[in-house]
Every structure is written in C-alpha cells, then in structure tokens.
C-alpha cells in the first residue's frame, strides 16, 4: 500500500495517478474533506498519519513547508519502523538533512524527491524530479514514482536535492518577475502588448514571453501554485544561502515581492502569477495617493 500525506494541489493528482495505475493507495490530509473525493477514485482515507503509516510500505509526503513536513515525519516514523519515506515537499536543505537523520534513527529510509512542474504536469505524469538520500528507495519504488514523474535525476544527498529545487525555482520565479515588470514598464509608457511582442518575438527572450506573458495578463488564471508558497520557496532559498554564507541579493528581492503580495496584497491563496496584478495595483494606488496627497 502507498500512503499519500497531503492531498493539496500536488498531492491530489499524484494520488489519483497512482490509483489510475492500479496501486492501492491510502491518503491523509490535515483538512479531511479535501482528501475525501479520492475515496471515489478508490483510495482509503486514513483518520490519522499513524493509521496511514501502519497501512503503508511507502509514504509520499506532499505538504507545504518545513514545519508541516517535520510534523508529519515525526508521526510517520514513530508509527512504523521500516517505512520508506519519499518527501516531495519543497523544504530547506537544513530540514532535508534533519529529516534524513530522523528517518535513519527510527529505522526508516528517506528520499528527498523534489519536483519541477505543477498540478497539470502531475496529472499527466510529466513531473521532473531531483532525488537525494537513500537511493534504494528509488530503486524499489521507481516504477510507482514513474507514474507521475517523467524523469528523475539522482543528485546525491537529501539536502542537495532540496537545495537544487530551490536554486532551479529561483530561475523560474526570477524569469516570471522579469516578464511582469517589463510588461508593466512598457504599459506605463503607452506601449501596447502587440508592439512589445513584435520586438520580443525576434529575440531569444521570446521563450520567456511565450511561457509567462499570457498567464500574467490573464484575469482567469487557474490556481496552480499559491503565492504564499512562492514566498516560502524564495525565503528558503535565501536561508539556504545564508546557512552557507552565500548572499543572494536578487533572490532576496524576489522573496520580498512575493511576501508583500501575500501579506500587503492579501494574495497568499491566489496563483503566484497574480504578482503582476499586485505590482500593477500598487503602482496605481501610489499614483492615486500622490495626487490626492
Ligand atoms: N503547486 C505546485 O506547482 C508545486 C510544484 C512543485 C512543488 N510544490 C511543493 O509541493 C508542496 C505542496 O504544494 P501544493 O501546491 O500541493 O500546496 P497546497 O495545495 O497548499 O497543499 C499543501 C498541503 O500541505 C498540508 N499542510 C499544510 N500544513 C500542514 C501541517 N502543519 N500539517 C499537515 N499538513 C499540512 C495541507 O493540508 P490542508 O489541506 O489541511 O491545508 C495540504 O495538504 C509544497 O512544498 C510546494 O512548495 C508545489
């Protein structure tokens, strides 16, 4: 039996893919109602993390952050010796190191398997993974994991796989914010989107516009990745740099922008592409308050 801990935007389609492929799956979610629709797909719904651990040989952890991961790992590993744990959550490398140690002390095996791609890629089985830690877990469960991860690169330690995810994410988020700010700058100078594209499409940056411009400008972007988790990822990248004495000034600025969109903008539960709207409205608000002041 495979246990899925956390049936949020990512955990849900992962559980669904496994069920569709015929694997027996037990799920647990802190807010139980969010796990219940998976029962219709054939999943057992556990009442507790402990019950899930007792029923499972492998537990996939797909939760928000270090704190959530620590909480469920404590419960999983105290419930069952010999459990294999795969952590898909984006966490700090410091947490990944602690988690690997905890599992080892409690007779469990641990693999960090951070993923690139969102809910759509999970649904299609097209995530790309970075793995680190107990490689035997990958060897044993590779076929099941292959149902939702297209390719896995084994990078070494549990903490390396966590750090690499933060590093790669920072390129994605940086690219998205560059496009958002460039669009806003052009717009403020009365340059239409079509003229912007006419030039950009002749340049290598076309790929960035193809990837992000439509999503940033769309009013109806579906929720794929929460703003507060984007802030968390970039804050974790900054912390990971800090713990090695590496300043990351650009990533710090990205973290600050997502943090402000979450706190000041109240957009924490919205899709992270709404950062464009946040920056745009902030500009408009400033203009209004300057005029009225
Ligand atoms: N969405 C993406 O595109 C994407 C891509 C790659 C990686 N990730 C990473 O994957 C992880 C999950 O992301 P997501 O998009 O699925 O987020 P999500 O929809 O917000 O789901 C978060 C999950 O964590 C659970 N959780 C939060 N705090 C908890 C706690 N203290 N104890 C137990 N469970 C807790 C939530 O339970 P409740 O339902 O009770 O809140 C929910 O099941 C995150 O680390 C994220 O950074 C996301």
For ligand 1, is residue 9 a contact (CB within 6 Å)? yes
Q: Read off the tokens for 178.
A: 């560059």
For range 197-203, the mean pLDDT: 98
Closest ligand 1 atom to the C-alpha of 30? 40
Kind plus residue range of the DSSP H or E element containing 174: helix 158-188
pTM > 0.75: yes or no:
yes
Closest ligand 1 atom to the C-alpha of 229? 47
Q: Read off the tokens for 137.
A: 């877990």
Indicate the burial class of 269 (C-beta count within 10 angstroms; 0-12, 13-18, 19 or more): exposed
Give the burial string for 132-157 (b: 16+ CB within 10 Å, else e).
bbbeebbebbeebbebbbeebeebee
For ligand 1, is residue 30 a contact (CB within 6 Å)? yes
Nearest alpha carbon, ligand 1 atom 39? 31
CATH code for the domain defined by 163-292: 1.10.1040.10
Nearest alpha carbon, ligand 1 atom 31? 68
- In sequence order, which residues have a C-beta less than 8 Å from that of residue 49 and are 6 or more positions away? 5, 28, 72, 75, 76, 79
- For 94-117, the pLDDT digits (tens) are 999 999 999 999 999 999 999 999
Superfamily in which the 2-156 domain is placed by CATH: NAD(P)-binding Rossmann-like Domain (3.40.50.720)
10 C-alpha vs ligand 1 centroid, how far in Å?
7
Our mutation pick for probing the ligand 1 site, out of 4, 7, 8, 74, counting the most ligand atoms within 8 A of Cβ, is 8
Residues of CATH 3.40.50.720 domain(s) within the chain?
Answer: 2-156
Cβ count near 211 (within 10 Å): 14
Name which of 86, 218, 245 is nearest 158 in CA terms.
Answer: 86
Nearest alpha carbon, ligand 1 atom 25? 63
The pLDDT-based confidence of 287 (bands split at 50, 70, 90) is low
For ligand 1, is residue 115 a contact (CB within 6 Å)? yes
Residue 28 vs residues 20, 46, 82, 146, 166: alpha-carbon distances, Å: 18, 5, 19, 22, 26
% residues pLDDT > 90 (the chain): 95
- For 258-271, the pLDDT digits (tens) are 999 999 999 999 99
Our mutation pick for probing the ligand 1 site, out of 121, 229, 258, counting the most ligand atoms within 8 A of Cβ, is 229
63 C-alpha vs ligand 1 centroid, how far in Å?
4
Q: What is the pLDDT of residue 219?
A: 86
pLDDT averaged over the chain?
96
Nearest alpha carbon, ligand 1 atom 15? 9
Question: Does residue 88 register a pLDDT over 90?
Answer: yes
Residues of CATH 1.10.1040.10 domain(s) within the chain?
Answer: 163-292
For ligand 1, is residue 265 a contact (CB within 6 Å)? no
For ligand 1, is residue 123 a contact (CB within 6 Å)? no
């Amino acid at each position: 039996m495979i246990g899925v801990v956390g049936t949020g935007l990512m955990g849900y389609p992962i559980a669904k893919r496994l069920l569709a492929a015929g694997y027996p799956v037990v799920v647990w979610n802190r807010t139980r109602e969010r796990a219940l629709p998976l029962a219709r797909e054939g999943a057992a719904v556990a009442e507790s993390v402990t019950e899930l651990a007792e029923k499972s040989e492998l537990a996939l952890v797909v939760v928000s952050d270090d704190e959530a991961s620590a909480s469920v790992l404590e419960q999983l590993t105290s419930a069952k010796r010999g459990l294999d744990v795969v952590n898909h959550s984006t966490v700090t490398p410091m947490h990944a190191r602690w988690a690997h140690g905890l599992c080892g002390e409690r007779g469990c095996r641990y693999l960090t398997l951070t993923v690139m791609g969102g809910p759509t890629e999970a649904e299609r089985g097209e995530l790309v993974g970075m793995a680190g830690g107990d490689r035997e877990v990958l060897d044993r469960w590779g076929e099941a994991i292959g149902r939702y991860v297209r390719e896995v690169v084994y990078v070494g330690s549990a903490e390396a796989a966590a750090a690499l995810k933060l590093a790669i994410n920072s390129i994605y988020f940086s690219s998205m914010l560059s496009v958002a700010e460039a669009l806003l700058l052009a717009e403020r100078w009365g340059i239409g989107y079509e003229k912007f594209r006419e030039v950009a499409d002749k340049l290598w940056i076309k790929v960035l516009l193809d990837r992000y411009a439509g999503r940033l400008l769309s009013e109806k972007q579906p929720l794929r990745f929460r703003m507060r988790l984007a802030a968390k990822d970039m804050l974790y990248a900054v912390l990971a740099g800090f713990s090695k004495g590496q300043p990351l000034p650009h990533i710090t600025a990205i973290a600050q922008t997502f943090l402000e969109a979450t706190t000041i903008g109240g957009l924490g539960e919205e899709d992270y592409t709404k950062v464009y709207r946040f920056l745009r409205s902030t500009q408009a608000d400033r203009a209004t308050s300057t005029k009225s002041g």
